[in-house]
Every structure is written in C-alpha cells, then in structure tokens.
Amino acid sequence: MFLALKDAGAKDWKTGLGISLTHQGRLHYIQSHHIFAKSLLKGLYEPREINEIANMAFISGGTNRSLSNKPPNEYLPGIIEKQGQESLSQQCVPTDPALHQLKEFRKFLEARRELLASAVNRFLEKAKG
C-alpha cells in the first residue's frame, strides 16, 4: 500500500513533502497514522476494525504528533485548506466530509477500502508494464 500511495504522489499532510522512507530526522520519519484515533474508537468498534489498514495514512512523525487524537472531522478540513483536497485523494482518503464523522467510521472504512484497492491495482498494472 505504501508504494502505491507513494506512486500516486502522497504527501505529508503538514509539510507537503512526498512520503519517503529516506527522510532524515525524528520529525520526518514516516509513521502510520490512525485517521480515526484509536482512543476515540475504543469501546465503540472492534480492535481489528480500529487497526485496519483502511484506517491508516502515512505521514511524518511530527505531523502524527500534532494531530494526536483529534477526530478527522476536526483536523481534515485544515489539511484541505492548507494542502488542498488532493492531499487526501493522494492517500486514498475519502473526501466526503460526512464520512469523517465518528458515527460513520464503518462507512469511511468501506469507501477507503475501495479507493485503496483501486490505487494498488493501478500501481500493479503500471509495474507490470
């Protein structure tokens, strides 16, 4: 998934740097980020859903810490404002604000699974040449 998103132009949501495994420095290392924070979902959803790859984005450590456990409906609008809507699209994050609500977590996962599958399939087709 990382390679497919990198190929699609995925960038860090705060710095705008393209995601890469070669960034230097503690704040720039790529981390997987729970789009819907675990602390917000605990007790409401199963751990397998919370930790599903469809709930993960690749961002820098500094960005991950700055987002902390904010709900996506609070932090994603700021990312769109500063980095543009494509910053979400490049990470296959559904851009429909209704899906960023905690109560819509399962619908968000469903939509993101489809986006991720399409991105991975495009990447594999491209790699096949």
Q: Are 96 and 74 in contact (CB under 8 A)?
A: no
Q: What is the pLDDT of residues 101-123, one digit of tens each?
A: 999 999 999 999 999 999 999 99
Average pLDDT in the chain: 93
Residue whose C-alpha is closest to residue 94's, from 77, 112, 79: 112
Task: Tell if the pTM clears 0.85, that is, is over it.
Answer: yes
Q: What is the pLDDT of residues 12-38, one digit of tens each?
A: 999 998 888 775 555 557 889 999 999
Q: What is the pLDDT of residues 62-71, one digit of tens each?
A: 999 999 999 9
What per-residue confidence (pLDDT) applies to 22?
A: 73
Domain ranges (residues) in the chain: 2-128
Four-residue CA torsion sign, 66, 69, 74, 75: positive
- Compute the distance between CA of residue 113 and CA of residue 90 in angstroms, rounded to an integer: 14
The DSSP result for 26-68, as a single string, is TTTSEEEEESS-HHHHBTTB-HHHHT-GGGEEEEEHHHHHHHT
- Compute the distance between CA of residue 53 and CA of residue 112 in angstroms, rounded to an integer: 9
Position 82, amino acid? K
What per-residue confidence (pLDDT) applies to 129?
A: 77
Q: Which residue has the tokens 């599958």?
A: 117
- Compute the distance between CA of residue 110 and CA of residue 24 in angstroms, rounded to an integer: 34
Q: What is the pLDDT of residues 72-93, one digit of tens each?
A: 999 999 999 999 999 999 999 9
